[in-house]
Amino acid sequence: MSQPFPPLPYLSGNFAPILMECDAHDLPVTGELPRALHGTLYRNGPNPQFAPRDPYYHWFIGDGMVHAFHIEDGCVRYRNRWVRTNKFNRERAAGRALFGSWGNPATTDPSVAGEESGVANTNIVWHAGRLLALEEADLPVELDAGDLATRGDCTYGGKLSGPMTAHPKIDPVTGELVFFAYSADGPFTEGLRYGVVDGDGRLTRLAHFDAPFSSMIHDFMVTPRHVLFPVLPLTGSMARAMRGEPAYAWEPQLGAHIGIMPRHGDTAQIRWFRGEACYVFHVMNAWEEGNRILADVMQYDEPPVFNPNAGGPGSRARLCRWTFDLDAGTDAFQSTWLDDMPGEFPRIDDRFATLPYRHGYFASRQHEGSLPGTYDTLVHLDAATGQRTLHALPEGDAISEPVFVPRKPDSAEGDGWLLATVFRGGEQRSDLVVYEAGDISRGPVAAAQLSHRVPFGFHGNWRPAQ
């Protein structure tokens, strides 16, 4: 018999898992879904199937569950499935949790010592005919795009044997999927890996180098000619984990290190730029202007996780622009705040990834007292005019990361819709909502209603109908 979940913050409310897989053929819809919307929104997030072994639990380590909303002819079908990782299958067979947090050997059952403990819970992308569930410490896991059945680890014909980031970048010009991995030589090591998968799904490049120290590197940046690796002082340590302490900790004295490598060059050409301590989970976009590289990031002065001293404005992310002048003869870079509204989960029209862009979107939190990871306001920033547009949800509701869908493949930038899931706190269930991307202030134009919750998760992406 499995054990009840403990009453911890990240196992309560809409962080709590739903203990079912289900299908809904035709969701009730309020408003009117645009008839031109034809495809599937996939969302991924943590949904642990068993109570954790450790005395504490962190949101980042729950088993991945994918939620799929297929939209066609003004109707919405829904399906959710757990990703059948090795960890999931071994624990399902045992009827209880076997793996410690972050694969910690000190709290892992001896029967699974040394086995893969990936959870595939962070992102889900469609590239070269494959639907990949991703998290940053393990191999991608391929799913069937229709029924969400797990097909197994994606190794690109045996060429990839280690982790891939949860945030690969798909170049809209070349079709390449560009990725990296940290702790590439084992948990909490300094090794970094860089890789490229071409538009036909062939792994064409793998390179390896060492970072200045072991860091949690959740996201990175890609431009047409460069790749940027942010090594920030949220450090990993096996020694801490073995002492029963958090494996990751904030060590601001190490400062910020940004490695810039020519995209088609060699790791020996990496230049390291230095800055004051800060942390970034997510990147809005990066691009080039001559020999300058610009990157818009959601920057924290100090991270709100793995940092018991965090608090106040510095532990909330704001949109910041990093500017690197490759001809300046210095290892310093410039940081400029672009907006003072706190937020997370930045997204753009992905047709402009790696290129100059105008429209950015993110989730923000205006109600104080909410847990980190919950957001109640959708934000649109127009970089050309500086105009900020908002839509605030009713108190008690919470919105996910917004995903942009173009009206047509050749529509102008920003001409389309934003899709997100919304937790309805008063009803303890969730909706899929659709906004006109250029007019979010009037609220969703349509909402497809679920009868259950979609637990707070991380990232999603749109796959247009084939």
Asked if pLDDT for residue 370 goes beyond 70, the answer is no
In a domain, 2, yes or no: no
pTM: 0.96
For the segment 230-257, the average pLDDT, to the nearest whole number, is 91
Among 2-11, 85-94, 421-430, 438-447, where is mean pLDDT lowest?
Answer: 2-11
In a domain, 406, yes or no: yes
pLDDT given for residue 55 in this prediction: 80
Name the pLDDT band for 306 (thresholds 50, 70, 90): confident
- Structure confidence by residue, pLDDT tens digits, 372-382: 678 999 999 99
State percent of the chain over pLDDT 90. Answer: 86
In a domain, 424, yes or no: yes
In a domain, 224, yes or no: yes
The domain of 456 spans: 9-464
Q: Phi and psi (nearest 5°) for 267?
A: -65, -25
pLDDT given for residue 174 in this prediction: 98
Asked if residue 440 lies in contact with residue 382, where contact means CB atoms within 8 angstroms, the answer is no
Cβ contacts of 178 within 8 Å, gap of 6 or more:
168, 169, 170, 171, 195, 196, 222, 227, 263
In a domain, 287, yes or no: yes
pLDDT given for residue 367 in this prediction: 76
In a domain, 346, yes or no: yes
- Structure confidence by residue, pLDDT tens digits, 20-38: 999 999 999 999 999 999 9
Cα–Cα distances in Å, from 47 out to 6, 131, 140? 14, 19, 18
CATH of residue 395? 2.130.10
- Structure confidence by residue, pLDDT tens digits, 76-92: 999 999 999 999 999 99
Total structural domains within the chain: 1
- Structure confidence by residue, pLDDT tens digits, 107-143: 899 999 989 999 999 999 999 999 999 999 899 999 9
Name the pLDDT band for 314 (thresholds 50, 70, 90): low
For the segment 199-207, the average pLDDT, to the nearest whole number, is 98
Q: Phi and psi (nearest 5°) for 269?
A: -90, 5
Name the pLDDT band for 103 (thresholds 50, 70, 90): confident
C-alpha angle with apex 254: 253 to 260, nearest 5 degrees? 145
Asked if pLDDT for residue 243 goes beyond 90, the answer is no
In a domain, 1, yes or no: no
In a domain, 211, yes or no: yes
